[in-house]
Protein backbone atom coordinates (compact mmCIF):
# COMPACT_ATOMS: atom_id res chain seq x y z
CA UNK A 1 0.00 0.00 0.00
CA UNK A 2 1.29 3.43 -0.88
CA UNK A 3 0.72 6.29 1.53
CA UNK A 4 0.84 8.83 -1.26
CA UNK A 5 -0.79 8.45 -4.64
CA UNK A 6 -0.37 11.55 -6.81
CA UNK A 7 -3.11 12.28 -9.27
CA UNK A 8 -2.55 13.46 -12.81
CA UNK A 9 -2.82 17.12 -11.81
CA UNK A 10 -0.31 16.70 -8.98
CA UNK A 11 -2.57 18.50 -6.53
CA UNK A 12 -2.96 15.87 -3.87
CA UNK A 13 -2.87 12.16 -3.23
CA UNK A 14 -5.05 9.73 -1.36
CA UNK A 15 -4.32 6.30 0.03
CA UNK A 16 -7.12 3.74 -0.05
CA UNK A 17 -5.39 0.38 0.08
CA UNK A 18 -4.95 -1.25 -3.31
CA UNK A 19 -7.27 1.10 -5.25
CA UNK A 20 -6.48 4.50 -6.71
CA UNK A 21 -9.38 6.95 -6.84
CA UNK A 22 -7.52 10.24 -6.53
CA UNK A 23 -8.49 11.34 -10.04
CA UNK A 24 -12.16 10.81 -9.27
CA UNK A 25 -11.81 12.71 -6.01
CA UNK A 26 -9.96 15.53 -7.77
CA UNK A 27 -12.80 15.79 -10.29
CA UNK A 28 -15.20 16.38 -7.39
CA UNK A 29 -12.87 18.99 -5.91
CA UNK A 30 -12.60 20.93 -9.20
CA UNK A 31 -16.29 20.87 -10.09
CA UNK A 32 -17.95 20.91 -6.64
CA UNK A 33 -19.60 17.58 -7.40
CA UNK A 34 -20.79 15.48 -4.51
CA UNK A 35 -18.12 13.02 -3.39
CA UNK A 36 -19.23 9.45 -4.19
CA UNK A 37 -20.31 7.63 -1.05
CA UNK A 38 -18.27 4.55 -1.95
CA UNK A 39 -15.02 6.54 -1.69
CA UNK A 40 -15.59 8.04 1.74
CA UNK A 41 -14.86 5.01 3.98
CA UNK A 42 -11.80 4.06 1.90
CA UNK A 43 -9.72 7.24 2.09
CA UNK A 44 -7.27 7.26 5.01
CA UNK A 45 -4.59 9.67 3.73
CA UNK A 46 -4.95 13.08 2.06
CA UNK A 47 -1.81 14.98 1.06
CA UNK A 48 -2.04 18.42 -0.54
CA UNK A 49 1.75 18.61 -0.82
CA UNK A 50 2.47 22.35 -0.69
CA UNK A 51 -0.51 23.37 -2.83
CA UNK A 52 -2.12 26.79 -2.55
CA UNK A 53 -5.30 26.15 -0.56
CA UNK A 54 -6.13 29.57 0.84
CA UNK A 55 -8.86 28.18 3.08
CA UNK A 56 -9.49 24.83 4.72
CA UNK A 57 -11.57 22.67 2.36
CA UNK A 58 -14.76 21.80 4.26
CA UNK A 59 -15.16 18.54 2.38
CA UNK A 60 -12.12 17.09 4.18
CA UNK A 61 -14.35 16.38 7.18
CA UNK A 62 -16.40 14.07 5.01
CA UNK A 63 -13.59 11.54 5.35
CA UNK A 64 -14.07 10.49 8.96
CA UNK A 65 -11.61 7.58 8.58
CA UNK A 66 -8.62 9.82 7.85
CA UNK A 67 -5.45 8.86 9.72
CA UNK A 68 -3.05 11.24 7.92
CA UNK A 69 -3.68 14.79 6.70
CA UNK A 70 -1.12 17.13 5.14
CA UNK A 71 -2.41 20.58 4.26
CA UNK A 72 -0.91 23.09 1.84
CA UNK A 73 -0.54 26.86 2.10
CA UNK A 74 -3.30 28.56 4.10
CA UNK A 75 -2.04 32.16 3.75
CA UNK A 76 -2.86 33.10 7.32
CA UNK A 77 -6.41 31.80 7.16
CA UNK A 78 -7.58 30.19 10.45
CA UNK A 79 -8.21 26.49 10.78
CA UNK A 80 -11.86 25.77 11.65
CA UNK A 81 -13.04 24.21 14.90
CA UNK A 82 -14.37 21.36 12.77
CA UNK A 83 -10.80 20.08 12.50
CA UNK A 84 -11.45 18.40 15.86
CA UNK A 85 -14.00 16.10 14.21
CA UNK A 86 -11.22 14.08 12.56
CA UNK A 87 -10.76 11.97 15.67
CA UNK A 88 -8.99 9.11 13.89
CA UNK A 89 -6.07 11.28 12.79
CA UNK A 90 -2.66 9.98 13.83
CA UNK A 91 -0.57 12.37 11.76
CA UNK A 92 -1.35 16.03 11.07
CA UNK A 93 1.20 17.83 8.93
CA UNK A 94 0.88 21.61 8.66
CA UNK A 95 4.49 22.27 7.67
CA UNK A 96 4.75 25.65 6.01
CA UNK A 97 0.98 26.18 5.92
CA UNK A 98 1.39 29.78 7.16
CA UNK A 99 -1.23 29.48 9.87
CA UNK A 100 -1.36 32.03 12.68
CA UNK A 101 -3.37 30.06 15.24
CA UNK A 102 -4.72 26.62 16.12
CA UNK A 103 -8.35 25.92 17.05
CA UNK A 104 -9.17 24.79 20.59
CA UNK A 105 -10.72 21.69 19.04
CA UNK A 106 -7.25 20.36 18.26
CA UNK A 107 -7.38 18.85 21.74
CA UNK A 108 -10.11 16.48 20.53
CA UNK A 109 -7.70 14.65 18.20
CA UNK A 110 -7.27 11.97 20.83
CA UNK A 111 -5.36 9.51 18.60
CA UNK A 112 -2.85 12.03 17.25
CA UNK A 113 0.76 10.86 17.49
CA UNK A 114 2.59 13.22 15.13
CA UNK A 115 1.97 16.96 14.79
CA UNK A 116 4.17 19.00 12.45
CA UNK A 117 3.80 22.79 12.66
CA UNK A 118 7.24 23.71 11.37
CA UNK A 119 7.58 27.11 9.64
CA UNK A 120 4.30 28.82 10.49
CA UNK A 121 3.31 32.12 12.11
CA UNK A 122 2.20 30.88 15.53
CA UNK A 123 2.75 33.23 18.47
CA UNK A 124 0.94 31.04 21.02
CA UNK A 125 -0.67 27.62 21.42
CA UNK A 126 -4.17 26.85 22.71
CA UNK A 127 -4.31 25.25 26.16
CA UNK A 128 -6.26 22.37 24.60
CA UNK A 129 -3.13 21.13 22.82
CA UNK A 130 -2.06 19.73 26.18
CA UNK A 131 -4.91 17.21 25.93
CA UNK A 132 -3.02 15.32 23.20
CA UNK A 133 -1.83 12.60 25.56
CA UNK A 134 -0.88 10.15 22.79
CA UNK A 135 1.29 12.67 20.96
CA UNK A 136 4.87 11.46 20.54
CA UNK A 137 6.33 13.99 18.10
CA UNK A 138 5.69 17.75 18.16
CA UNK A 139 7.47 19.98 15.66
CA UNK A 140 7.14 23.72 16.33
CA UNK A 141 10.39 24.95 14.88
CA UNK A 142 10.53 28.33 13.09
CA UNK A 143 7.42 30.00 14.53
CA UNK A 144 7.07 33.10 16.74
CA UNK A 145 6.20 31.44 20.06
CA UNK A 146 6.92 33.46 23.19
CA UNK A 147 5.57 30.91 25.69
CA UNK A 148 4.14 27.40 26.04
CA UNK A 149 0.92 26.38 27.82
CA UNK A 150 1.40 25.81 31.55
CA UNK A 151 0.07 22.25 31.32
CA UNK A 152 2.39 21.02 28.59
CA UNK A 153 3.55 18.38 31.05
CA UNK A 154 0.21 16.61 30.51
CA UNK A 155 1.42 15.39 27.11
CA UNK A 156 2.66 12.29 28.83
CA UNK A 157 3.81 10.30 25.76
CA UNK A 158 5.82 13.09 24.13
CA UNK A 159 9.27 11.92 23.03
CA UNK A 160 10.47 14.63 20.62
CA UNK A 161 9.79 18.33 21.09
CA UNK A 162 11.27 20.75 18.55
CA UNK A 163 11.09 24.42 19.53
CA UNK A 164 14.09 25.88 17.72
CA UNK A 165 13.84 29.29 16.08
CA UNK A 166 11.14 30.81 18.31
CA UNK A 167 11.12 33.64 20.88
CA UNK A 168 11.01 31.56 24.05
CA UNK A 169 12.77 32.82 27.17
CA UNK A 170 11.56 30.12 29.60
CA UNK A 171 9.58 26.88 29.87
CA UNK A 172 6.78 25.97 32.30
CA UNK A 173 7.68 23.92 35.38
CA UNK A 174 5.38 21.14 34.17
CA UNK A 175 7.94 20.26 31.48
CA UNK A 176 9.55 18.07 34.14
CA UNK A 177 6.60 15.66 33.90
CA UNK A 178 7.49 14.66 30.33
CA UNK A 179 9.27 11.54 31.55
CA UNK A 180 9.51 9.93 28.10
CA UNK A 181 10.99 13.03 26.43
CA UNK A 182 14.16 12.02 24.62
CA UNK A 183 15.07 15.15 22.69
CA UNK A 184 14.26 18.82 23.28
CA UNK A 185 15.44 21.36 20.70
CA UNK A 186 15.58 24.92 22.00
CA UNK A 187 18.20 26.24 19.60
CA UNK A 188 17.95 29.87 18.42
CA UNK A 189 15.77 31.03 21.32
CA UNK A 190 16.72 33.98 23.60
CA UNK A 191 17.12 31.85 26.73
CA UNK A 192 19.39 33.11 29.50
CA UNK A 193 22.08 30.86 30.98
CA UNK A 194 20.29 30.60 34.33
CA UNK A 195 17.13 29.39 32.61
CA UNK A 196 19.10 26.85 30.58
CA UNK A 197 20.46 25.35 33.79
CA UNK A 198 16.97 25.27 35.30
CA UNK A 199 15.61 23.41 32.27
CA UNK A 200 18.48 20.93 32.40
CA UNK A 201 17.67 20.30 36.05
CA UNK A 202 14.01 19.64 35.22
CA UNK A 203 14.92 17.18 32.45
CA UNK A 204 18.13 15.44 33.53
CA UNK A 205 17.65 12.41 31.21
CA UNK A 206 16.69 14.36 28.10
CA UNK A 207 19.02 15.47 25.30
CA UNK A 208 18.63 19.25 25.14
CA UNK A 209 19.91 21.46 22.33
CA UNK A 210 20.40 25.13 23.05
CA UNK A 211 22.48 26.02 19.99
Per residue in 13-58, pLDDT tens? 555 443 444 555 555 555 556 777 777 887 888 887 667 777 888 8
* Mean pLDDT, residues 178-197: 98
Q: Model's pTM, two decimal places?
A: 0.87
Tens digits of residue pLDDT in 112-165: 999 999 999 999 999 999 999 999 999 999 999 999 999 999 999 999 999 999
What is residue 1's predicted lDDT score, i.e. its pLDDT?
A: 30
CATH superfamily membership of 122-211: Ribonuclease Inhibitor (3.80.10.10)
What is residue 205's predicted lDDT score, i.e. its pLDDT?
A: 96
* Mean pLDDT, residues 189-198: 98
What is residue 47's predicted lDDT score, i.e. its pLDDT?
A: 83
Starting at the edge strand that comes first in sequence, how are the strands of the sheet with 91-93 ordered? 13-15, 45-47, 68-70, 91-93, 114-116, 137-139, 160-162, 183-185, 207-209
What is residue 40's predicted lDDT score, i.e. its pLDDT?
A: 80
* Mean pLDDT, residues 57-70: 88
- The DSSP string of 115-166 is EE--S---S---GGGGG-TT--EEE--SS------TTGGG-TT--EEE-TTS
Question: For the chain, what's the residue count?
Answer: 211
What is residue 121's predicted lDDT score, i.e. its pLDDT?
A: 94
Domain residue ranges in the chain = 122-211
What is residue 52's predicted lDDT score, i.e. its pLDDT?
A: 75
Tens digits of residue pLDDT in 70-119: 887 877 788 999 999 999 999 999 998 889 999 999 999 999 999 999 99
Q: Are 15 and 33 in contact (CB under 8 A)?
A: no
* Beta-bridge mates of residue 6: 13
Q: What's the Cα-to-Cα distance from 77 to each of 51, 73, 80, 100, rounded to whole Å?
A: 14, 9, 9, 7
Q: pLDDT class for 197, splitting at 50, 70, 90?
A: very high
What is residue 14's predicted lDDT score, i.e. its pLDDT?
A: 56
Amino acid sequence: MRERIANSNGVFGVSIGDRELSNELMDCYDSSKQIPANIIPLVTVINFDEQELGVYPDWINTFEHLTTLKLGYMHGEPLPETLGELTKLRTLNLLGSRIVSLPESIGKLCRLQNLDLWVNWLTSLPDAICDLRKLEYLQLEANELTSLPDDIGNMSNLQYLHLGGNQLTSLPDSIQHLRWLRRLDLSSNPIAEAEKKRIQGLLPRCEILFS
